[in-house]
Amino acid sequence: MAERAARRCCLGWDFSTQQVKVVAVDAELSVFYEDSVQFDRDLVEFGTQGGVHVHKDGLTVTSPVLMWVQALDIILEKMKASGFDFSQVLALSGAGQQHGSVYWKTGASQVLTSLSPDLLLHEQLQACFSISNCPVWMDSSTAAQCRQLEAAVGGAQALSRLTGSRAYERFTGNQIAKIYQQNPEAYSHTERISLVSSFAASLFLGSYSPVDYSDGSGMNLLQIQDKVWSQACLGACAPRLEEKLGRPVPSCSVVGPISSYFVQRYGFPPECKVVAFTGDNPASLAGMRLEEGDIAVSPSTWDSFPKPVGPLRMHLAPPSGLCVHFCSFKNGSLMREKIRDESASGSWSEFSKALQSTEMGNGGNLGFYFDVMEITPEIIGRHRFSAENREVLAFPREVEIRALIEGQFMAKKIHAEALGYRVMPKTKILATGGASHNRDILQVLADVFGAPVYIIDTANSACVGSTYRAFHGPSLLCLVSIY
């Protein structure tokens, strides 16, 4: 019995842009299991690059919803084959790439509630989605819908006061408005619209999971003060939208017990709780446990860090009473990977050697790299400047690599300072995300911000944060939410 109690755990999931990941954390808050399925590598039949499809217009970016489902199947089967003891799972929670949306077809709820444990999920859900390729956070194709939404509520400032942000192309309300305008038949056949986070939770529940307050605040639809859907915003986006979204819930909510499908196929206990899934950035913060003055930097597919309140460019994520403000940048790891392939023969080792061989400040050479339309600021293209302050077409490969990394971190620091943030003597930077494995990239981060950089024990901070939230939701441990 003692051995059994010692292995009791919670699972944390992350449905991110490029992969699905899971960690198991025991009652001592120690990670003892990690695994992942990478879309480009493990699900090549979907033909994604960086986990997405970039359409011909260069603005529309989508991901196949069944790819996410199949990734979950694969990872669960791998866990089962490894001998993972699902009977010890007390609760689970998770995170999803923010702003992405999933469109459940009329009748899908009946399929969810009657899943056969003899079949994989993706085999049973193939006809359950009215939109097979879902818009994700990298999409920039909804400028017209953004302007329409702002006009409907009295302008960008009014929308920011109401929902926490001015209208952004990637935000879910504007994506829904585009689908309604351009594909009204698919919209009419949609009975439920989920965020990626609530979609993933729905798979585990066997029924539709509600959107949580935190991820809901990235939709341009939620009144952040009252934590209810804004009728003005809903009406500006699409008809009957409130019934398709369902009622939002606090992020610490236990949304139900796990579906009998997982009990019968994998051996989860029937009493295993599902805690509301949330966005990947808030979940990462839960795993990082910031203190006053700290800076969290997540150099991953999209780079992000919390920032102070600004008049229009503030994104509020209020999971449990307090607000976290995010500054997000679209040209993150995918841009670093492109420069790695172009200037370091696809090798991170060669990439690091280039950083080591060049001095801090790069001899005055500076570069900003935006292969897709950036969020902050709104700009596209590659812009290189020599030490003589002249724009140039190219740099030597070592200079190019340092210019990219220094430019990325300088942009973050400059933007934060413009909004009032200051590095204090006690400030430390906590880094997570894929690039936090690279010490040479982290050294540039420390140099630019002038503060020490620490990394958490695992780069999967969204997963770890989700396990903390799973423990906290049903009060399995006396954890204090950091939100």
| pLDDT, tens only, 50-89 | 999 999 999 999 999 999 999 999 999 999 999 999 999 9
- Rounded Cα distance between 422 and 309, Å, is 13
Averaged confidence pLDDT in the chain: 88
pLDDT of 215 over the 80 cut? yes
pLDDT of 310 over the 70 cut? no
- Rounded Cα distance between 80 and 196, Å, is 24
Task: Give the confidence band of 437 by pLDDT, cuts at 50, 70, 90.
Answer: confident
Residues 166-176 have pLDDT tens digits of 999 999 999 99
- Rounded Cα distance between 66 and 52, Å, is 13
Task: Give the confidence band of 459 by pLDDT, cuts at 50, 70, 90.
Answer: low
For the entire predicted model, the pTM comes to 0.77
pLDDT of 328 over the 70 cut? no
Q: Dihedral (C-alpha) 161, 163, 167, 169: value to the nearest 10 degrees?
A: 160
- Please calculate the CA angle 228-229-235 and round it to the nearest 5 degrees: 155
274 or 451, which is more confident: 274
Task: Give the confidence band of 333 by pLDDT, cuts at 50, 70, 90.
Answer: confident
pLDDT of 92 over the 60 cut? yes
Give the ranges where 324-419 is alpha helix by DSSP (H): 333-343, 348-357, 397-418
Backbone angles phi, psi at 237, to 5 degrees: -95, -50
- Rounded Cα distance between 283 and 280, Å, is 5
Please list the residue range(s) of the chain that carry CATH number 3.30.420.40. 9-284, 289-461
94 or 428, which is more confident: 94
pLDDT of 476 over the 50 cut? yes
For the domain spanning 289-461, the CATH number is 3.30.420.40
Tokens, residue 377: 């600021």
8 A C-beta contact, residue 200 and residue 13: yes
- Please calculate the CA angle 332-337-340 and round it to the nearest 5 degrees: 130
Query: What length does the chain have?
Result: 483
293 or 124, which is more confident: 124
**pLDDT of res. 82:** 96
Which residues, 6+ apart, have CB-to-CB distance to 302 below 8 Å?
17, 137, 138, 328, 329, 330, 332
pLDDT of 302 over the 50 cut? no
Q: Which superfamily does CATH assign the domain made up of 9-284 to?
A: ATPase, nucleotide binding domain (3.30.420.40)
- Rounded Cα distance between 38 and 51, Å, is 8
Would you call 451 helix, strand, or coil by DSSP?
coil
